[in-house]
């Protein structure tokens, strides 16, 4: 459909809670496609959430299959409507970045293994188990639905936040 502009922190929309989707209809599918197009066009993103394009709805897309960290353990392109983590275990600290916070990365601790329920673009209910980098990416994108950025999860802004290197 369309590559959309990414909102940059401190845009106030990024700090708001997204509304659940009642019915997966054509408008929801259009948002999903815009998210996929935007993620793919970035060339480096492994996920994007609807609030990042200014839409306060509970929709995220994640695909870690082209990343060196996720290429061996992934479900391919995940299009998730109303995702909910129903089980989590373990802890994993990883350096995270975000298209909405382009100048920084930070160390964040998240669950290493998760079970997620969601609806797909056809409105079908799905449940998946994810681990490692894919689990981290899903949790990162789901945080956007609750108005959270990785900055909110960095334990120390002094020691765990890093200025991104420019190429």
Total count of residues recorded for the chain: 167
Sheet containing 113-119: give its strands across: 47-49, 59-62, 78-89, 113-119, 125-131
In tens, the pLDDT along 61-98 reads 999 999 999 999 999 999 999 999 999 999 999 999 99
Residue 58 has pLDDT above 70, yes or no: yes
In tens, the pLDDT along 28-51 reads 999 999 999 999 999 999 999 999
Q: Give the model's confidence band at 167: pLDDT under 50 very low, under 70 low, under 90 confident, else very high.
A: low
Instruction: Calculate the average pLDDT of the chain.
Output: 96
Residue 155 has pLDDT above 90, yes or no: no
CA neighbours within 13 Å on the CB side: how many for 60?
24
Q: Give the model's confidence band at 165: pLDDT under 50 very low, under 70 low, under 90 confident, else very high.
A: confident
Domains contained in the chain, CATH given = 12-163 (3.90.45.10)
Among all residues, which ones are annotated catalytic? Answer: 141
CA distance 2 to 154: 32
SS3 25: coil
pLDDT of residue 136: 98
CA distance 123 to 24: 5
CB 43 within 8 Å of CB 55? no
SS3 80: strand
Alpha helix stretches (DSSP H) within the chain: 26-42, 132-145
In tens, the pLDDT along 99-119 reads 999 999 999 999 999 999 999
Residue 166 has pLDDT above 90, yes or no: no
pTM for the full model?
0.97
Residue 54 has pLDDT above 60, yes or no: yes
Q: Which two tokens stand for residue 63?
A: 């695909």
pLDDT of residue 1: 74
CA distance 151 to 104: 9
Residue 157 has pLDDT above 90, yes or no: no
CA distance 165 to 142: 26
Q: Which two tokens stand for residue 81?
A: 């409507």
In tens, the pLDDT along 118-141 reads 999 999 999 999 999 999 999 999
Strand locations in the chain (E): 47-49, 59-62, 78-89, 92-98, 101-110, 113-119, 125-131, 161-163
């Amino acid at each position: 459909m369309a590559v959309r502009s990414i909102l940059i922190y401190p845009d106030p929309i990024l700090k708001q809670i997204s509304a659940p989707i009642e019915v997966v209809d054509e408008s929801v599918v259009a948002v999903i496609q815009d998210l996929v197009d935007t993620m793919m066009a970035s060339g480096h993103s492994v996920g994007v959430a609807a609030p990042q394009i200014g839409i306060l709805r509970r929709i995220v897309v994640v695909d870690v299959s082209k990343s060196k960290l996720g290429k061996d353990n992934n479900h391919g392109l995940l299009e998730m409507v109303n995702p909910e983590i129903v089980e989590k275990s373990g802890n994993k600290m990883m350096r995270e970045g975000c298209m909405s916070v382009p100048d920084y990365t930070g160390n964040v601790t998240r669950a290493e293994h998760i079970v997620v329920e969601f609806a797909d673009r056809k409105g079908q209910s799905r449940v998946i188990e994810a681990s490692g980098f894919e689990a981290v990416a899903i949790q990162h994108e789901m945080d956007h639905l609750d108005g959270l950025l990785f900055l909110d999860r960095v334990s120390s802004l002094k020691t765990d936040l890093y200025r991104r290197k420019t190429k």
